[in-house]
Amino acid sequence: MAGDWTGRGKVRAREIAGGVEIAIDGITTQARYYKPLVYEFFRKERLIRPRWGEFELELVMEYAGEVPSLDLDNLAKALCDALKGHVFFDDSQIARLLCERRVGERDRITVRAVRRDGAD
């Protein structure tokens, strides 16, 4: 069961069973833009505390219009680094990483980070 969204700016997040879901509005061509944006959100919001264990991350970049020139691998690295210390202690805890780019209703990036064993 998902909780209410926290945040009013470009970044919103909510707790979900075993982890967190993050939504980022807009897409730029620079992956490095997202690391400080998401890191600062979690520093201010303190939505959850980092947890131990293995995590599964699902990253979806949705775009409307032309395909963005943002590399998914660079985006994944920037977002994993931003979540370190807020969702998990180290990005070496990521046991599964799925990245996808697809057409959507608007430009948005969604990240779901869930403990593999489903524990909270």
Tell me which DSSP letter residue 67 carries: P
**pTM, whole model, 2 decimals?**
0.89
Here the tokens at position 42 are 């979690």
Is 27 within 8 Å of 61 (Cβ atoms)?
yes
Name the amino acid, one letter, at 58. Answer: E
Q: What number is the average pLDDT over the span 9-16?
A: 93
Instruction: Give tens-digit pLDDT for 65-86.
Output: 999 998 999 999 999 999 999 9
Q: Which domain holds residue 32?
A: 11-115
- Residue 2 resides in a domain: no
- Residue 1 resides in a domain: no
Nearest to 113 by CA among 40, 14, 6: 14
CA distances from 29 to 85, 101, 102 (A): 25, 14, 16
What band does 43 get if pLDDT is binned at 50, 70 and 90? Answer: confident
- Residue 80 resides in a domain: yes
Instruction: Please report the DSSP string for 16-31 in residue order.
Output: ETTEEEEEEE---S-G
How many domains does one find in the chain? 1
Nearest to 20 by CA among 88, 104, 93: 88
Domain containing residue 89: CATH number: 3.30.1330.70
